[in-house]
Amino acid sequence: MTDLTRLTAAELAEKIHSREVTSAQVTRAHLDRIAQVDGRVNAFLHVDTEGALAAAEAVDAELDKGAAPASPLAGVPLALKDVFVTRDVPTTCGSKMLEGWLPPYDSTVAARLRAAGVVILGKTNMDEFAMGSSTENSAYGPTRNPWDLDRIPGGSGGGSSASLAAFEAPLAIGTDTGGSIRQPGAVTGTVGAKPTYGGVSRYGLIAFSSSLDQGGPCARTVLDAALLHEAIAGHDPADATSIDAPVPQVVEAARAGAKGDLSGTRVGVVREFAGEGYQSGVSAAFDAAVEQLRALGAEVVEVSCPHFQYALAAYYLIAPSEASSNLARFDAMRYGLRTGDDGSASAEQVMAATREAGFGPEVKRRIMLGTFALSSGYYDAYYGQAQKVRTLIARDFAAAYEQVDVLVSPTTPTTAFKIGERVDDPMAMYLADLCTIPANLAGTAALSVPCGLSADDGLPVGLQIMAPALADERMYRVGAAYESATEPLINRVPELGGEQ
């Protein structure tokens, strides 16, 4: 039989719906793969074997009765980032603060996946509370990149991206606050999409930075990402920031793009995302990708977005400020970890002891940064100024999209760096998100697709394709066209072998 773990989600769905294979068979194949290799990769924090098989068997039972599939992805397995609340399944956010917590309800994303018949294999590893670019900040150990187990798989959603590259799951869900879907996609040779802010509900997504956080699809092909995007997107009254508008026609766009014709499409290369600081192999792969877009019929022009150079600084004021507010709820009084309570301690002492024990170094760093930026006498100088920069970046995007249909850049300035290499250098770590942050600040859509291997180290490089708010279909069309003209990079991932 064909190795079911090597098929795309669309291929698996076709086989399941035609009854060539069962969802249970597909699910067992992926559970077996997880058992075989995840001891080396550490992509999963929790594998829900019983729940996954029950969900798969329920899909099979309906199909055997002649019922239509609940969705185009019914019966296909998926790995879910552990930042989404899942009923009666552990949700830790990669932190000791929530170790052992069993939520009493599902996030909207989890509920929509279940309603679509998607089989949730388990919860994936992540930087604690989604704060990081390497998945080294997890309280449960780092995830490793299947391309090179000594390197990072990106962050904060490295568990989701690694599960795809290790063939442990055909689909995954991530969240993107400053690049946490796209950057892991780039360094693992997979596809990651950040929808327009508000396009996917944040209800039940444990908040890091509420004005930036956005859930989205991770996959091995553009079409698979589009199918998953369609399954989880749409208005949700439970989320006040959810957009009440039709879901962009992302699947139709991906199928159209796969024909490989970009005639009439104007592509803008962002001038500010070039020059120093980029690994030579990344720059070369990006330049080759731009030439490929031109060969597909696109008109390529250079576009200036002058305020993008301030995006990183603005982000690291806005995001920590919102984090310091959001994480105040973890106070040892309501749920989660509680320590330092010997019966004589005050509530403040218990709270301080718990937060000291429960939060890791990066989370503490960002809470302190954010609290300082919001403090009396500094709010206007820091947080207020950062919000003004955010407005200027949004205006840069608006002006650019008057000239072009999409913008392109490298997804990340370097390929995957070695585990431990940047742990003691926060600024070097933060620079991994240099190209991805502007789209978060503006709330626009962006996609990362593989664009070859770096000549420097033979590791994957990502091409970022950015589109206007509520025009997500544009990035899928361009991404699918580019993908159709290139070799599937995922086929070159080294074989991990058995668990060691």
The secondary structure of the chain, three-state, reads CCCHHHCCHHHHHHHHHCCCCCHHHHHHHHHHHHHHHHHHHCCEEEECHHHHHHHHHHHHHHHHCCCCCCCCCCCCEEEEECCECCCCCCCCCCCHHHCCCCCCCCCHHHHHHHHCCCEEEEEECCCHHHCCCCCCCCCCCCCCECCECCECCCCCCHHHHHHHHCCCCCEEEEECCCCCCHHHHHHHCCEEEECCCCCECCCCECCCCCCCCCEEEEECCHHHHHHHHHHHECCCCCCCCCCCCCCCCHHHHHHHHCCCCCCCCEEEEECCCCCCCCCHHHHHHHHHHHHHHHHCCCEEEEECCHHHHHHHHHHHHHHHHHHHHHHHHCCCCCCCCCCCCCCCCCHHHHHHHHHHHHCCHHHHHHHHHHHHHHCCCCCHHHHHHHHHHHHHHHHHHHHHCCCCCEEEEECCCCCCCECCCCCCCHHHHHHHHCCCHHHHHHCCEEEEEEEEECCCCCCEEEEEEEECCCCHHHHHHHHHHHHHCCCCHHHHCCCCCCCC
| Catalytic residue flag (residue 344) | no
Task: Output the six-digit token pair for 243.
Answer: 């957009």
> How high is the pLDDT of residue 348?
81
In a domain, 314, yes or no: no
Q: For residue 1, what pLDDT is reported?
A: 53
Which of 107, 133, 134, 156 is catalytic? The answer is 156
The chain-wide mean pLDDT, for the chain, equals 95
Asked if residue 334 belongs to a domain, the reply is: no
326 belongs to a structural domain: no
pLDDT of 497 strictly over 80: no
Q: What is the pLDDT of residues 430-465, one digit of tens each?
A: 999 999 999 999 999 999 999 999 999 999 999 999
Identify whether 23 is a catalytic site residue.
no
According to the model, what pLDDT value does residue 338 have? 83
Q: Examine residue 500 and state whether it is found in any structural domain, yes or no.
A: no
> What CATH number should be reported for the domain holding residue 180?
3.90.1300.10
Q: 48-94 pLDDT, tens per residue? A: 999 999 999 999 999 999 999 999 999 999 999 999 999 999 999 99
| CA distances in angstroms from 455 to 145, 292, 415, listed in the order given | 18, 18, 11
Give the tens place of pLDDT for each residue, 234-290: 999 999 999 999 999 999 999 999 999 999 999 999 999 987 789 999 999 999 999
99 within domain boundaries:
yes
Question: Is the pLDDT at 322 greater than 90, yes or no?
Answer: yes
Q: What is the pLDDT of residues 391-404, one digit of tens each?
A: 999 999 999 999 99
pTM for the whole structure: 0.96
Active site residue 418: no
pLDDT given for residue 459 in this prediction: 98
Assigned domain for 187 exists: yes
Catalytic residue among 15, 23, 81, 209: 81
The total domain count for the chain is 1
pLDDT at 377: 87
Percent of the chain at pLDDT above 90?
89
In a domain, 376, yes or no: no
pLDDT above 80 for 343? no
Residue 106 within any structural domain of the chain = yes
The pLDDT value recorded for residue 499 is 46
pLDDT at 500 over 50: no
- Give the domain extent around 99: 4-308+391-492
Peptide bond into 156 cis (omega under 30): yes
In the set 163, 180, 209, 454, the catalytic residue is 180
